[in-house]
């Protein structure tokens, strides 16, 4: 009788172990996913905090050569594509830097200028998705912002690490320039305490087929 009871107990334990292992794996997987998306949401909130200018677009858009943006983009509108050949990086750029927009790709701060308007173009993205390779960018590397008005080519000139509450990222510029920003450190888990900033200088503008036919 005792042997039978022991066998039953062993079988019972084995069954529970068989059930417990996959359930535990599923629970761990769910926890990882929840942590990942929570971190992305936190990044979005922290990145958006750096916007010091509300969305008040300049209706008299400054001209670049002979072209302007004919219509002001709405949140979520596709503005083009950002490419960094040295990093083999290429992602769509959309208007806005809130959670919904940053899920689509790289976000354009609504309070900053658009390519070709002769001011600061400010783009932001998550450090663990679209901008995960940004730390490997070097001075002299080219950054191409492809839009319906042509390819705007910039060159990386400097890098800076600032605090999460730094309000000096957006400053009025009287010349064409592109600034990239993301949370820092890149391998930090949780709410990153700093921001990684990439500064550039404008090199040239190349007509695209779409722009040439307009």
**Would you name the residues annotated as active-site residues?**
126, 183
Picking from 160, 173, 190, the residue whose alpha carbon sits closest to that of residue 41 is 190
Q: Between the CA of residue 206 and those of 44, 109, 143, 180, what are the distances in Å? A: 32, 23, 13, 21
State the distance between the two ends of the chain, measured CA to CA, in whole angstroms. 91
| Pairwise CA distance, residues 110 & 98, whole Å | 10
Element (H or E) spanning 200, and its range?
strand 194-206
């Amino acid at each position: 009788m005792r042997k039978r009871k022991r066998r039953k107990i062993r079988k019972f334990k084995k069954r529970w172990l068989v059930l417990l292992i996959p359930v535990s794996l599923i629970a761990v997987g769910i926890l990882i996913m929840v942590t990942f998306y929570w971190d992305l949401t936190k990044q979005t909130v922290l990145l958006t905090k750096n916007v010091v200018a509300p969305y008040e677009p300049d209706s008299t858009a400054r001209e670049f050569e002979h072209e302007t943006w004919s219509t002001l983009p709405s949140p979520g509108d596709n503005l083009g594509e950002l490419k960094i050949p040295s990093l083999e990086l290429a992602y769509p750029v959309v208007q806005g830097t809130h959670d919904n927009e940053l899920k689509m790709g790289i976000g354009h701060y609504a309070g900053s200028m658009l390519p070709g308007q002769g001011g600061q173009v400010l783009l932001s993205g998550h450090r663990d998705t679209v901008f995960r390779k940004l730390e490997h960018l070097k001075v002299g590397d080219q950054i191409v912002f492809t839009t319906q008005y042509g390819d705007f080519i910039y060159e990386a000139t400097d890098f800076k690490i600032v605090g999460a509450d730094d309000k000096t990222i957006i400053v009025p510029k009287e010349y064409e320039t592109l600034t990239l920003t993301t949370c820092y450190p890149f391998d930090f888990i949780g709410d990153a305490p700093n921001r990684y900033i990439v500064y550039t200088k404008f090199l040239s503008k190349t007509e695209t087929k779409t722009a040439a036919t307009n």
